[in-house]
Amino acid sequence: MKDAAIRVGVVTDQSGPLSVMGIANANVARMVINDINAQGGLLGRQIDLYLEDSATTDSVAEAKAAKLVEQDKVDVILGGIYSSTRQAIKRAAVEKAGKLYIYPEQYEGQECHPLIFCTGPVPAQQLEPTIPWLMQQTGAKKFYLPSADYIWPRIMNKKVRELVTANGGQIVGEEYFPLDHADYARTVDSIMSTGAEVVFNTTVPPGVVPFLDQLHRAGFKKRGGILMCTYFEENILPLFPVEHVDGLYGCLDYYQAVSDPFSKELLDRYNQLYPGGAKLTGGSAATGMYRGLKLWEAAVKEAGSLKQEDVIKALDHATIAEGPGGPAQMVPGQHHVRMNMYVAQVSNGSLNVVKDLGAFDPKECLQGVK
């Protein structure tokens, strides 16, 4: 019966700078697929997981995705963290091979290909509820936007600018840097001299480490400055001395402090199965990987076969009643997920949920997928 196994391909960064995130993705894929197999499989068939390491390198991701679809003949492909990695997987798996692809990471939105479904949060979910809430809570009006120079920060900043302006605030600075930039002296001086009250940060590892160090040394927080970084989560926190990130706000679909019974049980089980550095977190796409696999499972069950067009039709409205952070629902026609969002704040080295925002629509692909 081995030949009748369903084949699921996962490409994720198990080595290189994003390895702690990619390993968590791989762990979640193993856990979910083992669970499905333990309950009798899917459509009465076992699932075989084909797992490839993209090594935080887009050319490797593209080659591994090509191998999964051409050689291993997988039925579906999942994975990718950076948006550039999504594009690499898309070239090989979707554009060349016409394969269904599920992308699990928070990102800038705007991916509306008929064969791609996205299961992480997007700007409408991370920013629309959070920026007005933060301004109301703190009275802050002046925002500074230090950013890594790629598509995700640019689209996030465009949305932040809209929301801050609409709520009576102003952007006093917006700058872009290479991902590994290390000297932020001029930017930190500018943050201090413009009287910026909120630093909305989209610099990323490795550059974010020296940035937050230099901002801390300049006394930004001492004078009452507020730090916000939507992607911050439990896999990122250990990169920083506690005092550099104390008080920082983030907004994601899940934090380990989310206390609904299912989320707690899932986290306990994950920690038992995979103790160590790669934690189950929202920002690392691990929650999107869980959601993606479970929504795909629901779609295959509804379709009653693995015929790709039938699975896509069912996936377009698939729902799961439970998941990390709560239930999830693919919004029909949008290929993105309605899910719960949470604001967390760093305190004494851990992230505490300070606001359960409830469920938000992604508001993506409103013109449909094409």
* C-alpha span between 227 and 216 (Å, rounded): 10
Please provide the DSSP assignment of 108-160 as one string: ------TTEEE-S--HHHHTTTHHHHHHHHH---EEEEEEESSHHHHHHHHHH
Q: pLDDT in tens for each of the 370 residues of the chain?
A: 444 899 999 999 999 988 999 999 999 999 999 999 999 999 999 999 999 999 999 999 999 999 999 999 999 999 999 999 999 999 999 999 999 999 999 999 999 999 999 999 999 999 999 999 999 999 999 999 999 999 999 999 999 999 999 999 999 999 999 999 999 999 999 999 999 999 999 999 889 999 999 999 999 999 999 999 999 999 989 999 999 999 999 999 999 999 999 999 999 999 999 998 899 999 889 999 999 999 999 999 999 999 999 999 999 999 999 999 999 999 999 999 999 999 999 999 999 999 999 999 999 999 888 8
- How far, CA to CA in Å, does 161 sit from each of 26, 151, 198, 272, 336? 36, 16, 13, 43, 23
Domains and CATH numbers, the chain: 2-121+260-339 (3.40.50.2300), 128-229 (3.40.50.2300)
* Beta strands in the chain, from DSSP E residues, in sequence order: 6-12, 47-53, 76-79, 101-103, 116-118, 142-148, 170-177, 198-200, 226-228, 249-252, 319-320, 328-330, 337-347, 350-360
Q: Which two tokens stand for residue 209?
A: 């480490």
**Burial degree of 54 (CB within 10 A; 0-12, 13-18, 19+):** buried
Rounded to the nearest 10 degrees, the angle between the axes of helix 185-193 and helix 208-217 is: 50
pTM above 0.85, yes or no: yes
Contact 59, 20 (CB under 8 A): no
